[in-house]
Structure 1
Amino acid sequence: MKYTPGGFDRDGSKSMNRIARTVFAPVYPVIAEQIVERCGISRGRCLDLGSGPGSLGIALARTSDLSVTLLDSSPDMLEIAEENIRDAGLSGRVELLPGDVHAIPLPAGSIDLAVSRGSIFFWEDIARAFSEVYRILAPGGKTYIGGGFGTAELRDAVLVAMTKENPDWKDFRDKNLGPENQKRVVGILAELGLPHRVISDDSGFWVMMEKER
């Protein structure tokens, strides 16, 4: 898969969609339920950052009353996401938004819940991106941003399947979710002075920010 600042190319988008619909398919509903439970937000407007083929956003729409917007910088990925939304029967609940997390094309205070699984590892400027995410949060709005698999069992199953796809995948996962990268992200958030807490457990590594009411 080839990734550039403009997002994944056509072949990369197709490959990611295939993996999301097979190997990772059991992961998204579990994470979606954890998001709703941990954030306590089940209605309002949700933004899925770096949404890729839309798997997490679609799972959230299915498990809640949220209106979901999928933000991605790749036209090819958004085209695939549109097909997935239609296949899920959610065309009225999930919409597309071309854009970059470093300059989110939404007004301040417009989003109740901002989520992302995996895109943070491709952000060029984490500080700028988190500042943008905080800007668009409504009062009382929250984030659930990071990476993970929901449970230890799902994590182990994905590892087996993905190692067959790509022998180097475990190294990529360990680099992204390892303690050094987690420490780096937490340090950036501390420097920004943004209110947050971190979850680091079998569900993954997740940053939860909340905007004051």
Structure 2
Amino acid sequence: MDEHQWYLYPVLAARVARLAGGPFDVAVDMGTGPGLLTAYLARDLARRVHAVDINPAMHELARSTCTRMGVVDRVEFDRCDVHRLPYPDNHADLVVSYSCFHHWADPVTGLRECFRILRPGGMMVIWDTDGSRKSAVERIARVVRDPAHLRFVTEAFDESYAPAEVSGMVAEAHLPDPFLGPFSIDEEDVMAAIDDLANGASLPDPGEAGDGTAVAWELIVRKADPAPAQS
């Protein structure tokens, strides 16, 4: 994944900074995978990052990535399950997850857990493939030439949820005032991450099908600060 979409992670970190601000005390990367988003969060946005994954092989990759980027001392590599997180209520300022939601066995429980560990004023941001856009694979294949990468993309479409399904899960989880909409790379986020990009002018967009239409969705939920006590 990192060899094909390495450019995406600094852009996602820049997007989170634009949406949520920062710096933060604690962030959680739910499904760290190769650890690139974790590393950028630790470098730019959070004093402490929990890199969550149930696969120890992913933690080996993530630890190597964070070591290479000089942030390993700010990251905790937590082998745990999104359905039963070990963190207390109101633990994190930020929860993010990229291309992991479709792997959750019970997305409603996972959403509730992510929201539970958010502090008041915190934000969760989740990105994943739009499972209703399976027809886009043919167009994407014209751009993606590497067979392994194309197989990864095809599997993501096959396994992912349509936004309408996600909307139902969000409602069932009783998340307050969610924003759920199409996701594609924003030029403002690219420019914010330009120093980390080898050639920002020619970036492909993993959120588009090659015809300008979005093939990924974005969920944003904020946990409100408690109402002030009545005097």
- Please give the range of the TM-score, normalised by the shorter of the 2 chains: 0.7 to 0.9
Which residue of structure 2 lines up, in the alignment, with residue 3 of structure 1?
none
Shift of 1:169: 4.1
| Amino acid across the alignment from 1:53 | P
Q: 2:123 aligns with which of 142, 167, 172?
A: 142
Task: Specify the alignment match of 2:180 in structure 1.
Answer: 198
**Partner secondary structure for residue 4 of structure 2:** coil
TM-score by length of 1: 0.78
SS of the counterpart of 2:62?
A: helix
Structure 2 CA distance, aligned partners of 1:142 and 1:51? Answer: 18
C-alpha change, 1:123 and 1:89, in structure 2 (3 Å) is: same
Q: Any unmatched runs of 5+ in structure 1?
A: 1-18, 149-155
Aligned to 1:77: 58
**Which residue number in structure 2 is paired with residue 50 of structure 1?**
31
Other-structure match for 1:164? 147
Residue 36 of structure 1 corresponds to: 17
Q: CA deviation at 1:66?
A: 4.0
- Structure 2 vs 1, CA of residues 64 and 158 (structure 1 numbering), >3 Å: closer, same or farther? farther
Q: Distance in 1 between matches of 2:179 and 2:163?
A: 12
For residues 175-206 of structure 1, the C-alpha deviation after alignment (integer angstroms, 9 at most, x for no partner) is 466xx611101111112221111131323411
C-alpha change, 1:64 and 1:167, in structure 2 (3 Å) is: closer
* 5+ residue gaps, structure 2: 130-138, 186-215, 226-231
* SS across alignment from 1:143: strand
In the superposition, relative to structure 1, how do residues 157 and 92 fare at CA in structure 2: closer, same or farther (>3 Å)?
Answer: farther
Aligned residues between the structures: 185
Give 1:159 shift.
Answer: 7.5
Partner Cα distance (2:118, 2:35) in 1: 20
Do 2:24 and 2:94's aligned partners in 1 also have CA atoms closer than 8 Å?
A: no
Read off the aligned partner of 2:221 and give its amino acid letter: M
- The alignment partner of 2:78 has SS state of strand
How well do the aligned residues superpose, as a CA RMSD in angstroms? 2.3
The within-5 A match list for 1:93-104 is 93-104=74-85
Is the radius of gyration larger for structure 1 or structure 2?
A: 2
- Describe the SS at the equivalent of 2:40: helix
Rounded Cα–Cα distance in structure 1 between residues aligned with 2:13 and 2:140: 18
Mapped partners of 2:61, 2:55: distance in 1: 10
Q: Contact conserved, 1:41 with 1:113, CA < 8 A, in 2?
A: no
Cα distance in structure 2, aligned partners of 1:123 and 1:136: 17
User: Under a length normalisation based on structure 2, what TM-score does the superposition of the two structures give?
Assistant: 0.72
Q: Is the 1:163–1:170 Cα contact (8 Å) retained in structure 2?
A: no
Given the superposition, is the C-alpha separation of residues 123 and 165 from structure 1 closer, same or farther in structure 2, using an over 3 Å criterion? same
**Which residue identity does 2:223 align to in structure 1?**
K
The amino acid across from 2:217 in the alignment is F
Cα deviation 1:93-123 (Å, max 9, x = unaligned): 2221110000011111001000010110100
CA change 1:46–1:78 in 2 (3 A) is same
